[in-house]
Amino acid sequence: MGTKRTRGPGKKPSLVHISVRISKEADRFYASTPNKSEYIRRVLQEHYEEAQQEVRYALDNPEYLRERFEEVKKRLTEESQKQ
């Protein structure tokens, strides 16, 4: 009689477990929050969403993509000249 219940429509998707190394300072900061895992998860999700927005914007605006490419190229050139 064992029917497995799965997540129904409208529910949050299941999460994937990962391990990550962070600095002691970051650990102290996150440990000071009420729910360390939830806070880290929220920060990562916000970063992901911002990155997705930037990708969508870049794909819709080729000039923006060229400008970003030139900025990165300039920074990498400057860094290689310092070494």
What span, in angstroms and rounded, lies between the C-alpha atoms of 33 and 26?
11
**Residue 1 pLDDT exceeds 90:** no
Q: What's the whole-number mean pLDDT along residues 76-82? A: 91
Cα torsion 52, 55, 56, 57 to 10°: value is 120
Residue 3 has pLDDT above 90, yes or no: no
8-60: pLDDT as tens digits? 676 777 888 999 999 999 999 999 999 999 999 999 999 999 999 989 998 89
More confident residue, 30 or 1: 30
Written as one string, the DSSP assignment of 30-69 is: HHTSS-HHHHHHHHHHHHHHHHHHHHHHHHH-HHHHHHHH
pLDDT at residue 6 greater than cutoff 70: no
Domain ranges (residues) in the chain? 35-82
Which pLDDT does position 25 carry in this prediction? 96
